[in-house]
Every structure is written in C-alpha cells, then in structure tokens.
Structure 1
Amino acid sequence: MAKIIGGLGTSHVPSIAVAIDKGLADTADWKPFFDGYIPARAWMADKKPDIAVVIFNDHGNAFFLDQVPTLAVGVADSYRPIDEGWGPRAVPDFPGAPEFSWHLVDTMVENHFDPLVCRELEVDHGMQVPMELFFGRPEAWPARVVPILVNTIQFPIPTPQRMWDLGLVLRKAIASWDTEETVAILGTGGLSHQLQGSRAGFINPEADRAWIAEIGDNPEKYRNMTREDYVEVFGSEGAELIMWLVMRGAMDEKVHTVHSHYYSPASMTGAGMVVLENSEA
C-alpha cells in the first residue's frame, strides 16, 4: 500500500513568491527566512515522494466570495499557476495524480465528507509557494500533486476538529491506495497575521513558536481550540493554521520533528515550517 513519508507544515505568504521572482532570497531581509528551509529542501530531495498532497486555501482567485466551497479537491491531470494580478509567474504547471485524487474523493464521501470536485483548477500562491520552498524551482515538478482546498477566507470556516477528522480520512485513503507510492502531506497557511480591521498588522511570535514546537507532540491543544480562539491567538488570517491539522491528523499519534524554522516578520506575518516523520519511519 501507499505510505506517508512525512508531514510538512509551512507558511504560504505571497511576498515569498515575489522575493523568489525578484532574486531577493539572499538579501538581508529575506536570507534568514530562506536559509531556514535548506534542511527541509534537502529532506525532500532525499525522500523523493511520488505524490504531494497540498492542503491550502484559495485567496479569491479560483473561487470568489460569491461561491466559496468549504472543501474542494482537484482531480485534474495538471494545474496551471494562476495569474494573481501581476502577470503569470515562471512556475511549471503542476502534474496531477488523478487516480489517487478520485480515490481520495471516494474515501471522503464514504466517510461523510462532501467536497467540491474540481476537474479543472488553477492554483495560486497557496500551492505555488509551499512547492517552491520544498522543491525549489525545477524545470518540471518531481512529485505529482493532489490539491485539497479549505475555506479559511469567508466565515463560517471549518472547525479545527473537522480538519483533524479530514486528516484521519486522508490517512485512510493513503493506506488503502494499492500502490507502492510514497506520499508527503503539506499543510499550509499562517503563521500569525491579520491584514484588516482594528488589529491589522497583528502578529504573535510567542504563539507561533509554541505552535511550531508543539504541533508534533501536543496537537490536542490545537484541535481543541475553537475557531474564535484561532482568530484571537493567531489573527483573522492566521486562522489558516487549521489546515496544518489535516496534515497532523493524517500522521501517527507519535511523531518526531526532523526540522523546524521560524522567522518574523516576513512581510506582515510570522512565517515558518516544520517537518514531521512518523516515529517508526
């Protein structure tokens, strides 16, 4: 059967893409952030997963506020990087894994999840940035992707427990996928930030560092928080962190942290990542 080789959590800040495109990765403002991902990129190059399941949120690009699915899954053969308003980026199209995507959708429905099924989908920085941070900028992506899109833009957003339960279903789908393929799961979003309202510019580095340190060993703390707790602690946009719970829920109860990194601020956010492996891996 297919095997989960690791769970990765990461920010997907759009200014990261700008920094990459403008060659700013080695500047004083950005080098500490990008250097922190070097061990994670080496881990990915060593593990060479066949499939990357990427959990992210669309930012009003593929879906707008008039039609926002709570959950969506891509089943396409490939996914084009979407133009977010400043022109198409020089990012290769992402090859899909449609057979596994359909298996995942069927497993979700069997377990009482009802995703929007996307036979065509363009993907924004929510997928682009995590893939670049962990795989670099290859001529062709070495792993096929399965996009899982979660509404964290327009309330009501899903509960943390619901995201954890989705992770359990994802685990079940991978365990029942009758191949020898290896799978890396990328939970994306956050860390703390708020882009509007009276707390615009809010970040919480202390809570961010606790999240990075505890998401592996103490996930119950975060699955038991309410949606309102996430907004209060991490900011209205920092509530994206619920998507990391899909990744963590798919992993074993016991995991170990291989790499972690935190940098603040990256643009108007706290930013960072974690690489987890199951304890018996």
Structure 2
Amino acid sequence: MARITAGIATSHIPAVGAALDNGRAGDSYWAPVFAGYDWAREFERAERPDVVILVYNDHASAFDMKFIPTFAIGCGEAFGIADEGWGPRPVPEVEGHPDLAWHIAQSLILDEFDMTIINEMEVDHALTVPLSLMFGQAERWPVKVIPLAVNVVTYPPPSGNRCWLLGEAIARAVASFDEDLNVQVWGTGGMSHQLQGPRAGLINKPWDTAFLDRLTADPGALRHMPHIDYLREAGSEGIELVMWLIMRGALGAQAQELHRFYHVPASNTAVGHIVLRPDAA
C-alpha cells in the first residue's frame, strides 16, 4: 500500500530560485541559505520518495481574480513552468502521478472536501523553488509531483483547522491506494514576511521559532489560530503558513522532528524549514 513516510515544510521565496538559476548560490549572502538545506538534500537522496504531494499557492500564474479555488489538485501527466514576468525558470517540467492524484481527488470529494480538479496548468516558483532546494539543479526531477494549490492570496483563505483536516483526509486517501509507493507531503510558504505597506519587510523571529516548536509539540494550538494572529504577528504573507498544517495533518497526531533550519533574511523574508517523520512510519 502507499504510505506517507515524511513531511517537509519550507519557504518558497522566488529570490532563492533566482539566486540558484543565476549562479549566485555561492555568494556570501546566499550561501548560508543553501547550506541550510544540505541535510534535507542528503535525506531525500536516502529516502528516495516516489511521489511528493506538494502544497503551495499560485501567484496569479494559473489562477487569477476570475477563478479562485480554495483547494485545487493537479491530476495531469505533467505541468509546465510558468512565466512570471521574466521568463520561465530554467528547471525541468514537473511530472505528475495521475493515478494517485485522481484517487486522492475522488477520496477527498467523497470525504466531503470540494476539490477543484486541474488537468492542465503551469506551476510557478512556489512549487519549483522547494524542488530546487531539495534536489538541486536536476536535469529531471527525481520524483513525481501532485500539485495541491491553496488560496492564501485572496480573502478568505481556509482556516488552519480546515487545512489540518484536509491533511488527515489526504493521509486516508494515500493509505487506501493499492500500490507500493513512498509518498511525502510538503507544505510550502512563509515564514513571517510582508511585501507591502508600512510594515513591508516585517520579520518576527520569536513568533516563527514558536511556530516551528508547536508544529511538533503542540499542533493543536496551531489548528485553531485565527487568521488575524497570522496577519498581526507574521505579516500579510505570513498566512501562507496555514499550508504547513496540511502537511502536518497528514502525519497524524504525533510526529518526530528530524531537522529544522531558520535563517534571516533572505530577500526581505525569513527562511523556515522543517523535516518531520510520522510516528507510525
């Protein structure tokens, strides 16, 4: 049977992808950021996942104000790389896993989650930067990817509790898929950052650190944190952290922290990263 063996959360800062693509990963400014992912890259080489369910948010590349799904799952064979205004990132096309994706979509909908099913779309930095951080400058991504897009751009985003429950439903769906697959769930976005207004450049290290602590030690408190707390403490874009709770919910009530990394600043944001193992794995 398919099984979820790990959960990974990471920021998906576009400037990180640009630094890698433009040969600046070794610069004094960027080197500490990329060094913080050395452990995870070794972990991925050892774990060799077959499929990653990658939770991310679209930045007006596949969706815009005409069409705003709260939760959308990519069920296609492949997903191209979006042009976000300066040309597509020079990274491989993302290969999907349609059989598992359709199975998850069916299971989630019958589990009373109203999923939007997407068969054709392009994916932006929110999905490709995490892949680059974990797998480097690959000629072909070594995993199949099921994109799961969450609206955290236009109000109202889903609650943390709804995201957690979706993670639990994803875990049930994966466990009921009759193929031997090593599956990981990644939550991306965050940590504290604000890109506009009087608080542009906000970084709240104590709050970010507490969030990382609670992700393993007290996830129940995070489930019920109201949106306003994210906005007040982590900035307007800090709401992306609810996507980490989809990953966390998929691991079950108890999880073991294997690794974490935190660094400021990268561009004008905080970089956060954590690797978890479900207790049952």
Q: Secondary structure at the match of 1:85?
A: coil
Q: Which amino acid aligns with 2:110?
A: E
Residue number in structure 2 paired with 1:116: 116
Residue number in structure 1 paired with 2:189: 189
* 1:131-142 correspondence runs (5 A): 131-142=131-142
Q: Deviations over 1:203-242 (max 9, x none)?
A: 1111111222221221112111011111111111010000
2: CA distance between counterparts of 1:185 and 1:223? 18
Correspondence 1:279 to 2:276: no
Aligned residues: 281
Q: Which amino acid aligns with 1:80?
A: G
Structure 2 unmatched runs, 5+: none
1: CA distance between counterparts of 2:185 and 2:30? 26
* 1:67-216 correspondence runs (5 A): 67-216=67-216
Structure 1 unmatched runs, 5+: none
2: CA distance between counterparts of 1:255 and 1:117? 30
Q: Secondary structure at the match of 2:228?
A: helix
Q: Which amino acid aligns with 1:241?
A: L
Q: Secondary structure at the match of 2:206?
A: helix
2: CA distance between counterparts of 1:88 and 1:130? 16
2: CA distance between counterparts of 1:108 and 1:234? 30
RMSD (Å), alpha carbons: 0.9
Please report how far the alpha carbon of residue 252 of structure 1 lies from its aligned counterpart in structure 2 after TM superposition.
2.5
TM-score of the superposed pair, with normalisation by structure 2: 0.98
More displaced 10-residue stretch of structure 1: 55-64 or 271-280 = 271-280
1: CA distance between counterparts of 2:66 and 2:201? 27
Residue number in structure 1 paired with 2:257: 257
Q: Which amino acid aligns with 1:13?
A: I
2: CA distance between counterparts of 1:279 and 1:102? 27
Residue number in structure 1 paired with 2:52: 52
1: CA distance between counterparts of 2:181 and 2:203? 39
Please report how far the alpha carbon of residue 6 of structure 1 lies from its aligned counterpart in structure 2 after TM superposition.
0.2
2: CA distance between counterparts of 1:246 and 1:139? 29
2: CA distance between counterparts of 1:24 and 1:214? 34
Give the ranges of 4+ consecutive aligned residues of structure 1 lying more than 6 Å apart after TM superposition.
Answer: none
Q: Which amino acid aligns with 1:59?
A: H
**Percent identity at matched positions?**
42
Residue number in structure 2 paired with 1:220: 220
2: CA distance between counterparts of 1:233 and 1:104? 34
Q: Secondary structure at the match of 2:225?
A: coil
1: CA distance between counterparts of 2:254 and 2:165? 17
Q: Which amino acid aligns with 2:162?
A: R
Q: Secondary structure at the match of 1:73?
A: strand
Q: Which amino acid aligns with 1:49?
A: P
Residue number in structure 2 paired with 1:17: 17
Q: Secondary structure at the match of 2:217?
A: coil
